[in-house]
Amino acid sequence: MQSYRLKIKIILALAIFIATGMLLMDMVISMTGHKRLVLAEVEKAEVVAQVMARRLEAAPAMSDGLHAEVAGQAWGLGMELLVVDGRGAVRFPAPDQLGAGPAMIKAAQEAVATGRMAKGTAGPRFGPLGRRYETLQVAVPLKNEDGLLSGALVLSVNLAGLHEQFWADQRLFALYILFNLAILTFVAYQRLAKLLIKPLQRLASRAEEYQDDESFYFLTDRRGDEVAALSASLNRMLRRINTDRHKLQEMVAALEEANLSLKTAQQEVIRAEKLASVGRLSAGIAHEIGNPVGIVLGYLELLQQEDLQPGQRLDFIQRATHEINRISTIIRQLLDLSRSDEEEQGEVHIHDLLGDLCAGLQEQPLLAGLSVTLKTAAADDRVYGVADRLRQVFLNIIMNAADAVRDNGPERPGRLTISTALVEQAGKRQGRPALQIRFADNGPGISPANVETVFDPFFTTKEPGKGTGLGLSVSYMIIENVGGKISVASRPGQGSVFSVILPLSRAAEKQEKQSRP
């Protein structure tokens, strides 16, 4: 369809250019030819006027009969005759018998006044070729036998027939132009199609059929013209594209491999940090389990005595069972904190996750001096992410808070308040709802010099062996991967506030928007 449109446009353009050229040529030729015809009529009228004037001058006496005879000869040549005397008065014929009387009298009077041939025109009209006249007047002075001016002879030539014949020829020439226009347009289009259109169509068809694995491209059987130069340029371009494509494929493969290695290293860092956190919890549990084990062993020795009363024996058994259950609870909570869920992203209920985490940390010795308060005020807590990763982030923040409040002293017991609220995101996601989780402790706070670097890898203020410096860095990476944001605000002596903002899941976001007024 596009090819036919191009052909039609080319044919119309050729027809317009050729028609314009032929019309301009016709106009120039017509104006020149018409002018030459008029000049020929003028020369003819001059010769006839001079011949008739000599005849009248040669006659012994001018009479109306002689004037009528000469007028008849002029009429036979398509001209009108007028004779005036030396004063400019009309002698023949009567003025009312002349078609161009005023113009002829004016030319005769000019010839009498100057004694030379005079010319004039009458009946001006405007047409496509400019101004034209209906009649042409030629006046010749008459002299007597003494050589004195005795009057003038005027001939008026009617140009209407000349104009009619000219326009009749123009109509014939217009048909000739249309015929030539059709032939020339057809020939020009065929030639142009052979030289340009068909080669371009072959190039376009070749471009459509081109495959990436082909070793040859655009071919042409012509040398040295623009089409051949275009084919060569397209071939060079395709070679560069193929070369760049291969380089790009190699680069993409290298990037995919590097990305896979980076993800593997990231997983290892997260796993190592999680094991480090569980190791710190396990170190405190060893002493916590030792006491119940000693108590159980004591009760078992008492139960070996034969003189025990049935009531005492039952009481010892119940006490030993209680201590064993206590050991089981501590170990189960540690296993819950260290377990690895399937790392598939999905909808996570943050309130349930925080509740389970706080409940599991109640019996942990590492958090013995920390009072945790959970305030779940957010109307919706559904976010999209990996539950095990988010649990690791929250555990790192809580353990850091426990370390921070450990040196507060008995007069200032350690407190950690965990609260949730719905907020609006900023930046690229501005205006979209999100869930904010705040962890506010009453520890000594963070110095201004360290606030900007707490999320840097291997940054720690703890003593050697008590921290890897990767906890907050890994937490920052986990939150960024789910489209969230983590930040800290702190003043020395006033505690620290860690803020985690997570985008709501699509279902929660849609429901939250519908609930807005």
- Pairwise CA distance, residues 43 & 34, whole Å: 14
Domain membership of residue 313 (yes or no) is no
Residue 35 main-chain phi, psi, to 5 deg: -65, -40
CA distances (Å), 491 to each of 72, 467, 488, 501, in order?
131, 22, 10, 21
Instruction: Please say whether the dihedral angle defined by the alpha carbons of residues 54, 55, 61 and 63, taken in this order, is positive or negative.
Output: negative
Please calculate the CA angle 242-248-252 and round it to the nearest 5 degrees. Answer: 145
- Pairwise CA distance, residues 108 & 93, whole Å: 13
Structural domain ending residue among the three candidates 182, 213, 239:
182
Structural domains in the chain (count): 2
Give me the pLDDT at residue 365, please: 65
Domain membership of residue 308 (yes or no) is no
HSE at residue 123, side-chain half, CA atoms within 13 A, is 15
Residues linked to residue 415 through DSSP beta bridges, in sequence order: 371
Domain membership of residue 295 (yes or no) is no
Give me the pLDDT at residue 153, please: 92
Domain membership of residue 332 (yes or no) is no
- Pairwise CA distance, residues 65 & 83, whole Å: 13
Which of 411, 436, 434, 441 lies closest to 512 in space, CA to CA? 434
Domain at 88, CATH number: 3.30.450.20
Q: Which two tokens stand for residue 400?
A: 């850091």
- Measured between its terminal Cα atoms, the distance across the chain in Å is 54
Checking phi first, is residue 151 left (phi over 0); if not, alpha (psi -120 to 50) or beta?
Answer: left
Name the helix (H) or strand (E) containing 153. Answer: strand 149-158
Structural domain ending residue among the three candidates 128, 154, 182:
182
Q: Which two tokens stand for residue 220?
A: 């042409």
HSE at residue 436, side-chain half, CA atoms within 13 A, is 15
Which DSSP string corresponds to 177-214? HHHHHHHHHHHHHHHHIIIIIHHHHHHHHHHHH--TT-
37 contacts 31 by C-beta, under 8 angstroms: no
Domain membership of residue 188 (yes or no) is no
Q: Which two tokens stand for residue 283?
A: 């170190």
Domain membership of residue 236 (yes or no) is no
Which amino acid appears at position 223 of this protein? R
Q: Which two tokens stand for residue 197?
A: 């259109």
- Pairwise CA distance, residues 146 & 148, whole Å: 5
Residue 455 main-chain phi, psi, to 5 deg: -95, 5
CA distances (Å), 101 to each of 84, 92, 198, 328, in order?
12, 11, 69, 142
- Pairwise CA distance, residues 391 & 333, whole Å: 14
Please list the rounded mean pLDDT of every run of 10 residues in the chain (517 residues).
72 88 86 87 92 85 79 88 86 68 86 91 72 87 87 90 82 87 88 77 71 59 66 78 84 85 69 58 57 69 76 78 71 57 75 86 70 89 87 86 78 87 77 89 86 77 62 83 88 88 79 60
Q: Which two tokens stand for residue 186?
A: 């057809």
Give me the pLDDT at residue 303, please: 75
Structural domain ending residue among the three candidates 166, 182, 198:
182
pTM beyond 0.75:
no
Domain membership of residue 330 (yes or no) is no
Please calculate the CA angle 130-136-141 and round it to the nearest 5 degrees. Answer: 145
Q: Quote the domain boundaries for residue 115.
A: 2-182
Query: CA 262, 264, 270, 274: dihedral to nearest 10 degrees?
Result: -160
Q: Name residue, tokens 């100057």.
A: 114
CA distances (Å), 448 to each of 439, 440, 496, in order?
19, 17, 11
Domain membership of residue 314 (yes or no) is no
Give me the pLDDT at residue 421, please: 93
Domain at 370, CATH number: 3.30.565.10
Is 42 exposed, middle or buried, given 0-12, 13-18 or 19+ CB atoms closer than 10 A? middle
Long-range contact set of residues 161-165: C-beta below 8 Å, sequence gap at least 24: 161/78, 162/37, 162/38, 162/41, 163/132
Long-range contact set of residues 96-102: C-beta below 8 Å, sequence gap at least 24: 98/156, 99/135, 99/156, 99/158, 100/135, 100/137, 100/156
